[in-house]
Amino acid sequence: MKQLQEKIASEGRVLSEDVLKVDSFLNHQIDPKLMQAIGEEFSRRFEHDGITKILTIESSGIAPAVMAGLIMGVPVVFARKRASLTLTEGLISADVKSFTKQTVNTISVSGDYVTSDDTLLIIDDFLANGQAALGLLDIAGRAGASVAGVGIVIEKGFQQGGKLLREQGVRVESLAIIDSLADGKATFREEAETR
Amino acid sequence: MKQLQEKIASEGRVLSEDVLKVDSFLNHQIDPKLMQAIGEEFSRRFEHDGITKILTIESSGIAPAVMAGLIMGVPVVFARKRASLTLTEGLISADVKSFTKQTVNTISVSGDYVTSDDTLLIIDDFLANGQAALGLLDIAGRAGASVAGVGIVIEKGFQQGGKLLREQGVRVESLAIIDSLADGKATFREEAETR
């Protein structure tokens, strides 16, 4: 997605060969118009897949997921990383390893909102090691829901998540794939190869 | 806002005289079309206030804030409740007491994205004791930003937050104000009195 690549090139800050900071439009400050364009692109890519619901994870997945949900006309459910006072019964949970923080977090959704009647589109802001996406796929499986695919805003193509998911037969649609952050600069995979 | 009141009346679950669960459209599952209508209403109420940016807090504030940002044509910044690996320099922080959980959390925004040039609209999903809104106002003050007002999706009118903010001269625009959750049912304040 050209508009997204240009935004990453102009505003993204490469902090190391592993870390890209996109806090000016995606992870902390949010550019709503770009989120709308991202939602339109996800909608275009999954328009024939009978999606009934979008599943994402708090917090940075919510903005692109809600825009996609608006355009596709389906509700959005976001998995929670912490227990909520008013959300305790009928939880479906999965463990998510964080390689950067060396921790394991439990993520949860209510079984009221993800069921065996659903065909899910899983959306997240980043795909790196794939642990968050695997956790959401785990939750979908436990709920008996179908998953049409995983929509990612930015995939770090030099980490293993994309390969891991695609090898499992999961359809992954990444709107930008970064093959390298070497020399302080993001190098993108060609658009034709981003599927 | 009539559409919101109807949604609360039909889907909200009153768990006690203090707790209203709106997980089917706002706090866990999100109804994107309702969020769009909420964004339009915030936009209408603040259209003459020179808003340059919307400030909210993860996670449930993000969806209504991003829709308002899209319609108003301004960026959205969400305060973080936890430290982020890639977000450490130039933080502006405030403490937020949680009465329900008896804890104090630090919330933070980057000083890159909230500055003395900004006129902010603060948006949040709920207003109860007002601690989150006070934390966001504290951050705005530390950044030297102006605040045009606070936009709330659901105000619990029987708790003290709204009174506290209004007594400090803060303009609070709540799209639905609940005066009571007695008898297992939400009783709304009349529309004309919700400002």
Nearest to B62 among A24, A62, A75 (CB): A62
Do the Cβ atoms of A62 and B67 come within 8 Å?
A: no
More confidently predicted of A142 and B89: A142
B140 annotated to a ligand binding site: no
Tell me which residues of chain B have a C-beta less than 8 Å from any C-beta of chain A: 15, 19, 21, 23-25, 27-33, 35-36, 58-59, 62-63, 66-67, 69-70, 73-78, 80, 84-87, 100-101, 109-110, 112-113
If you measure CA to CA, which chain B residue comes closest to A98? B85
Please report the pLDDT score of residue A89 as a whole number: 74
Q: How far apart are the first and last CA of chain A?
A: 11
Please report the pLDDT score of residue B100 as a whole number: 74
**DSSP for B42-71, written as a single string:** HHHHTTTS---EEEEETTTTHHHHHHHHHH
Structural domains for chain B: 2-189 (3.40.50.2020)
Question: In the predicted model, what is the mean pLDDT of residues A31-43?
Answer: 98
Please report the pLDDT score of residue B86 as a whole number: 56
The interface pTM score, or ipTM, of the predicted complex is: 0.95
A132 annotated to a ligand binding site: yes
Please report the pLDDT score of residue A102 as a whole number: 84
Please report the pLDDT score of residue A169 as a whole number: 98
Please report the pLDDT score of residue A173 as a whole number: 98
Question: In the predicted model, what is the mean pLDDT of residues B44-52?
Answer: 98
Do the Cβ atoms of B23 and A113 come within 8 Å?
A: yes
pLDDT digits (tens, 9 = 90+) for A43-101: 999 999 999 999 999 999 999 999 999 999 999 999 999 765 555 679 999 999 887 77
Find the range with the poorest average confidence among A139-143, B6-10, B79-83: B79-83
Reported confidence tier of residue B51, pLDDT bands at 50, 70, 90:
very high
Is the confidence at residue A137, as pLDDT, over 90?
yes
Distance in Å, alpha carbon of A7 to nearest chain B alpha carbon: 14
Length of chain B: 195
Distance in Å, alpha carbon of A172 to nearest chain B alpha carbon: 23
B20 annotated to a ligand binding site: yes
Distance in Å, alpha carbon of B70 to nearest chain A alpha carbon: 5
Please report the pLDDT score of residue A192 as a whole number: 61
Report chain A's mean pLDDT, rounded to a whole number: 94
Please report the pLDDT score of residue B191 as a whole number: 72
pLDDT digits (tens, 9 = 90+) for B96-151: 988 777 889 999 999 999 999 999 999 999 999 999 999 999 999 999 999 999 99
Distance set, CA A30 to CA A107, B18, B74, B131 (Å): 23, 33, 9, 24
For residue B192, give the 3-state DSSP assignment.
Answer: helix
pLDDT digits (tens, 9 = 90+) for B152-164: 999 999 999 999 9
B186 annotated to a ligand binding site: no
If you measure CA to CA, which chain B residue comes closest to A68? B32
Residues of B whose CB is below 8 A from A75: 25, 29-32
- 3-state per-residue secondary structure call for chain A: CHHHHHHHHHHCEECCCCCEECCCCCCCEECHHHHHHHHHHHHHHCCCCCCCEEEEECCCCHHHHHHHHHHHCCCEEEEECCCECCECCCEEEEEEEECCCCEEEEEEEECCCCCCCCEEEEEEEEECCCHHHHHHHHHHHHHCCEEEEEEEEEEECCCCHHHHHHHCCCCEEEEEEEEECHHHCCEECCHHHCC
Residues of A whose CB is below 8 A from B62: 30, 59, 62-63, 66
Reported confidence tier of residue A194, pLDDT bands at 50, 70, 90:
low
Please report the pLDDT score of residue B144 as a whole number: 98
